[in-house]
Amino acid sequence: MARNKAFDPEEKLEKARDLFWEKGYNATSMQDLCEEMKLNRASIYDTYGDKYALFQQCLQNYAKEKLFDYKQCCEKVSPLSAIDSIIRRAVHNRKEGKSCLMVKTSFELASMDEGIRHIVQEQARQSISVLQELLEKAQKMNEIPAEKDPATLAQFLYASFSSIWLMDVLFGDKAMLDSMADHILYSIRH
C-alpha cells in the first residue's frame, strides 16, 4: 500500500526550481537539492525522478508561471503599456540580481541537450505568441506603426530579454539596462 507524502510536492518543486535558478543545473548537486528541499534522496527520486527529471519539471513549472505573469501584465492596460510593463519587469529583475531561468538555461544547456532545448523552445514560442498578440492589438489601436511586422517585433522583443541579461552580466551597469529598455520601446513605437 502506497503511503501518503508527508510534504507538498509543489512546494518542494519550487524550492528545487529556485536552487537551480540560483546555481544553474550543473553546479547543483543532489546533496544541494536534498538540503534545500529538506528531503532525502529516496523521497526525491520517488516523487520527481532523477536530477535531470526534476530539473525538467522545474523548467515546466517556471514556464507556466512566466506565461501567467505575461498574461497578468496584459490585464486592464493598453497593449503597449503591457509590453512596457513586461520589459520593465525584466530590467527590474536583473537589477535585483534575478535572471530569467529560461535564458540562463538556454546559455547553460540548450545547445547541448535536446530535451532541455525543447522545453526552452516551447516556452519561447508561447511567450513570443503572447507578445505578438499584444503587438497586433497595439497596431490595431494605432499604438505602433502599421508597417511594423508584429511577428518580427515579437521575436526581437523576446531576444532582447537575453541581451539585457548578457549586458548586465558583462558590464553590471544598471543605467545601461534602463537605456536598453527605452531603446527597445522606441524601436517598437517608431
DSSP conformation class of 6? S
pLDDT tens digits, residue range 65-122?
Answer: 988 888 887 777 899 999 999 999 999 988 888 888 998 999 899 999 999 999 999 9
Q: How confident is the model at residue 4 (pLDDT cuts 50, 70, 90)?
A: low
What is the chain's mean pLDDT, rounded? 92
List C-alpha distances in Å: 131 to 63, 112, 176: 15, 27, 23
By the 8 A CB rule, do 184 and 160 touch?
Answer: yes
Judge whether residue 140 has pLDDT over 90: yes
pLDDT band at 1 (very low <50, low <70, confident <90, very high): very low
Task: Report whether CATH 1.10.357.10 matches the domain 61-189.
Answer: yes
pLDDT at 69: 84
Question: Amino acid identity, residue 132?
Answer: Q
Query: What cell numbers appear for 10 in the block?
Result: 509543489
pTM for this entry: 0.87
Helix ranges (DSSP H) in 28-113: 30-37, 41-48, 51-73, 79-95, 101-105
